[in-house]
Amino acid sequence: MAANKALWVNNAGFKLGTSMFAKHGAGSGTVKEIVHDGDTANVQLTKNLGVRFLGMDTPEISFQLPGSSSFVSIADNRWQIFFTNNNWQNPQLEAGLLQYLSAKIGDGLNTHTNHNALAVEAQISLENLIQADLGTSGKTKETFAFFMAFANEFLDVYGRLLTYLHADRENFTNAADAPPLSYNERQMIAGFGEPYFIWPNIQPFISIRPFATDFLSPEGFWNTVNTGNKLQHSRQAFKDARAAKKGIYQQGKELMLSAFELRFLARKSKPDRYVIDLRNTGSKELISPQKYYVVQNPEDRLFIPSEYIPVFKLNGWNAAI
C-alpha cells in the first residue's frame, strides 16, 4: 500500500485505493446506512489525494532520472551531468527533433538550474493563490474547501486525480469574492502554467462529448473549437502572459525545456501524441508526434494520444507519419 495515499498505482499498473465507511449524520454510517443497493455503497477517503491539474503544465520540481525508481530534485547536479554529457540524447528521436532540442539545451550547463528556478517560482505562485483565497474567505485551513471538476479521464498513472481545482464558492460569505476561474487557469494567466491541452481531457475548455461523431469530424471539431470561448480566452491569456514576459517567459530566464520535454527525455522515450494546430482552422492534419515543435506556441497545440488516432482517421482526419 502507498503510504498516506488514498489512491495509487502499483507496479503492475493497477489503480488501487483505500476507503472507510461513509459519514452518516455526525458519525460513520452503519452497514445498512452505507449500502444503497446490491452494487452501490457509500465510502469516504481517509488519506491524502494527489491532484494533477488538467489543461496546463508547469516546470518540474523533481522527476525520475534514467535508471532511478525515485524522484530526484531538478536542482540535483546529477541533472547537469544528464544534460552536459548528452545523456539526454535518444536514438528513438528523429533528426529534426534532436536538432530542435539541441538548440534549446545548448551545452546543458544551465538547463537544470533554469528549470528548477522556474519550477520553484511556479510552486510559490500556486501557494500564493491558495493563500490569498484562504485569507479572503476567512476560513481556516481546517475548514477551507476545494471544488474539483473532472474531464473524461479520472486518474493518471501515478494515482493522482486529473482535475480542475477551484476554491469552493461556499468558502465565501460574499459570492462576489469567490474567484471565477480554476487554479489551472489562474496559473496560465500568471504565465507559469503552460497550456497542455490533451484530448479527450479538454472539458471545460471545450464543453463537448469527445467521442461524439459531430465533434470528431473536422467540420464539427473546428466549429466547436472556434466557438469555445473558454478555450479561446485561456489561449489568449497565456499569449498575453508571454507578451508581458511573465512566468516562464521572464526576461533573461525564459524556460529552456518544457516540462513534457524534460519528462520524455528523462524517460528515454519519445513523444507519442499527435498534434492539431489550433491556428489552422479547417485543416484535417494530425501532425506527427515528433514534429510537435512545428506548432511553435503551446497554446496552439492540441495533443491527441496515439490510441485515439484510428477514431480520428475514421472521421476524416489525415495522420502524418
Residues 19 and 76 in one domain: no
Q: What is the pLDDT of residues 116-138, one digit of tens each?
A: 999 999 999 999 999 999 999 99
Spans of the chain, pLDDT less than 50: none
**Assigned domain for 1 exists:** no
Residues 121 and 240 in one domain: yes
Cα–Cα distance between 230 and 80 in angstroms, integer?
Answer: 39
Q: Report the number of distinct structural domains present in the chain.
A: 2
Would you state the pLDDT for residue 1? 55
DSSP string, 24-45: ETTEEPPHHHHEEETTEE-EE-
Would you state the pLDDT for residue 2? 66
Would you state the pLDDT for residue 320? 79
Contact 8, 37 (CB under 8 A): no
Would you state the pLDDT for residue 212? 79
**Assigned domain for 215 exists:** yes
Would you state the pLDDT for residue 281? 95
Sign of CA dihedral 227, 234, 237, 282: negative
Residues 127 and 254 in one domain: yes
**Assigned domain for 103 exists:** yes
Residues 268 and 203 in one domain: yes
Residues 21 and 70 in one domain: no
Would you state the pLDDT for residue 72? 95
**Assigned domain for 2 exists:** no
* Closest CA relative to residue 242, chosen from 281, 188, 308: 188
**Assigned domain for 283 exists:** yes
Residues 21 and 107 in one domain: no
Would you state the pLDDT for residue 205? 84
Kindly state the DSSP code that residue 202 receives in the 8-state scheme.
Answer: -
Q: What is the pLDDT of residues 253-264, one digit of tens each?
A: 999 999 999 999
* Closest CA relative to residue 204, chosen from 180, 178, 222: 180
Residues 149 and 23 in one domain: no
**Assigned domain for 281 exists:** yes
Which domain range does residue 260 map to? 51-319
**Assigned domain for 199 exists:** yes
Residues 134 and 273 in one domain: yes
Residue ranges of E strands in 129-287: 146-155, 161-167, 194-198, 273-277, 285-286
Residues 31 and 134 in one domain: no
Residues 31 and 120 in one domain: no
Place of cell 536514438: 91
Residues 163 and 110 in one domain: yes
**Assigned domain for 181 exists:** yes
Would you state the pLDDT for residue 159? 82
Would you state the pLDDT for residue 118? 97
Residues 283 and 308 in one domain: yes
